[in-house]
């Protein structure tokens, strides 16, 4: 089968399309013929050995796929040959076939096409867990989202609207601002790309304060980190929630006088661990997301598609801050 392989640690340019043996399916696994693979930021990290998982090489990136089950292991009870599923496989998805545990698979919401199904659960699952379970976002609250035109950020925009919040966004270009406004954001700003010194950090903090208004933002969703985190935290409301989601701009250090002065909570979000530790809560969230999709409240924005041989360009777009919404690799 064809697979895009990471053979040595490095950027997307180090990936190569190769012919390898089809994986064999263990008793508790299913073998899936992949039809599409969503690209997520962890794909840019895992190939550089900078992610929480470090698979043995060679391996394919691609943690989120959609496809058809071609073979089921002897102990698999939940799925049958021919079922069309979404699967969260951690890595290995940028290939024609992948194996995974039966519990890594989910049914596809009714009427959802392949490229949306490959761009759905990782981002919406993360952002829904963050806003619902970690921040208890309530109707009428102000929600400020950083990196709002990216994968998890844009999902947070739609979910924030669906949950009745006033959605404010921060992004790094006018094009990205338009993407977030088109998905329902109420207002937003374009921030600089950095680097930031003392003066520009202060200007950034002031621009977030102006956007959030006198009372500040009740919930801040930070999927980017770096200097943006502290600048945004300065605009949080009394007893607000600051959600720590991701660090493409670097891992920030926060002066601890800020949460004291704001009486706020800095709250970690680790969706993968939540799914493992609270499978019932995760199933409930997935069912609610499916309903929101069916009711037209959420819909993944697939802004670009690539073939398997071009997939490294898709990963480069995320790493270079050029992607909006989701990029999907189609594997016909
Ligand atoms: N905590 C969890 O459970 C969880 C789950 C899923 C993902 N994540 C994390 O969430 C983050 C976003 O993931 P994603 O898949 O949504 O990625 P994405 O689509 O690439 O979006 C990330 C956004 O970060 C912003 N950004 C700021 N500085 C950047 C830089 N130096 N390089 C690249 N982007 C930069 C970009 O927006 P602007 O250009 O507008 O700033 C970009 O749109 C990643 O760190 C990922 O690991 C966490």
pLDDT tens across the length of the chain (332 residues): 999 999 999 999 999 999 999 999 999 999 999 999 999 999 999 999 999 899 999 999 999 999 999 999 999 999 999 999 999 999 999 999 999 999 999 999 989 999 999 999 999 999 999 999 999 999 999 999 999 999 999 999 999 999 999 999 999 999 999 999 999 999 999 999 999 999 999 999 999 999 999 999 999 999 999 999 999 999 999 999 999 999 999 999 999 999 999 999 999 999 999 999 999 999 999 999 999 999 999 999 999 999 999 999 999 999 999 999 999 999 98
Same domain, 131 and 262: yes
Q: What CATH number should be reported for the domain holding residue 252? A: 3.40.50.720
Residues in the chain: 332
pLDDT at 214: 97
Residue 1: HSE in the Cβ half-sphere, 13 Å Cα cutoff: 22
**CA 290/CA 307 separation, integer angstroms:** 27
Domain assignment of residue 87, yes or no: yes
Domain assignment of residue 285, yes or no: no
pLDDT at 88: 97
Q: What CATH number should be reported for the domain holding residue 94? A: 3.90.180.10
Domain assignment of residue 291, yes or no: no
150 CA to centre of ligand 1 in angstroms: 6
Task: Report the number of distinct structural domains present in the chain.
Answer: 2
Domain assignment of residue 194, yes or no: yes
Domain assignment of residue 130, yes or no: yes
pLDDT at 180: 98
Domain assignment of residue 295, yes or no: no
21 CA to centre of ligand 1 in angstroms: 33
Same domain, 98 and 240: no
Domain assignment of residue 56, yes or no: yes
Which mutation among 131, 193, 248, 326 tests ligand 1's pocket best, with the greatest number of atoms within 8 A of CB?
Answer: 248
305 CA to centre of ligand 1 in angstroms: 19
Q: Which atom of ligand 1 approaches the CA of 126 most closely?
A: 5
Q: Which of 252, 272, 292 is the last residue of a domain?
A: 272
Same domain, 107 and 128: no
Same domain, 112 and 131: no
32 CA to centre of ligand 1 in angstroms: 28
pLDDT at 260: 98
Same domain, 127 and 93: no
Same domain, 193 and 56: no
State the first-to-last Cα distance of the chain, in angstroms, to the nearest integer: 13
323 CA to centre of ligand 1 in angstroms: 10
> pTM of the entire structure?
0.98
Q: What is the extent of the structural domain holding 157?
A: 122-272
CB of 270 closer than 6 angstroms to any ligand 1 atom: yes
Is there a contact between 41 and 223 (Cβ–Cβ < 8 Å)? no
Same domain, 8 and 136: no
Interior/surface letters 284-303, b for 16+ CB within 10 angstroms, e for the rest: ebbeebbebbeeeebebbbb
Is there a contact between 325 and 304 (Cβ–Cβ < 8 Å)? no
**CA 323/CA 43 separation, integer angstroms:** 14
pLDDT at 22: 96
pLDDT at 317: 98
Same domain, 93 and 23: yes
Q: Which atom of ligand 1 approaches the CA of 270 most closely?
A: 3
């Amino acid at each position: 089968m064809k697979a895009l392989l990471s053979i040595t640690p490095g950027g997307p340019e180090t990936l190569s399309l190769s012919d390898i043996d089809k994986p064999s399916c263990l008793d508790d696994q299913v073998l899936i013929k992949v039809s599409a693979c969503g690209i997520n930021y962890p794909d840019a990290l895992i190939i550089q050995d900078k992610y929480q998982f470090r698979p043995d090489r060679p391996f394919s990136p691609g943690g989120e796929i959609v496809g058809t089950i071609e073979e089921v292991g002897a102990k698999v009870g939940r799925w049958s040959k021919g079922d069309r599923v979404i699967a969260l496989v951690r890595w290995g998805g940028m290939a024609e076939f992948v194996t995974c545990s039966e519990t890594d698979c989910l049914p596809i919401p009714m009427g959802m096409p392949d490229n949306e199904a490959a761009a759905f659960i990782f981002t919406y699952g993360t952002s829904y867990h963050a806003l619902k379970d970690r921040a208890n976002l309530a109707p009428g609250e102000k929600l400020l989202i950083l990196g709002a035109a990216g994968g998890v950020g844009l999902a947070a925009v739609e979910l924030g609207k669906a949950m009745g919040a006033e959605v404010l966004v921060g992004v790094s270009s006018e094009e990205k601002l338009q993407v977030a406004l088109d998905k329902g954001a109420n207002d937003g700003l374009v921030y600089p790309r950095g680097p930031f010194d003392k003066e520009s950090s202060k200007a950034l903090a002031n621009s977030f304060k102006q956007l959030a208004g006198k009372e500040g933002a009740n919930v801040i969703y930070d999927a980017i980190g770096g200097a943006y985190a502290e600048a945004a935290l300065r605009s949080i409301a009394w007893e607000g929630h600051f959600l720590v989601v991701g660090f493409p701009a670097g891992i920030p250090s926060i002066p601890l006088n800020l949460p004291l002065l704001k009486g706020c909570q800095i709250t970690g979000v680790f969706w993968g661990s939540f799914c493992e530790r609270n499978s019932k809560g995760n199933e409930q969230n997935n069912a609610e997301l499916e309903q929101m999709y069916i009711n037209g409240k959420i819909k993944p924005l697939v802004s670009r598609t690539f073939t398997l041989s071009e997939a490294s360009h898709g990963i480069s777009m995320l790493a270079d801050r050029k992607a909006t919404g989701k990029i999907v690799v189609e594997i016909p």
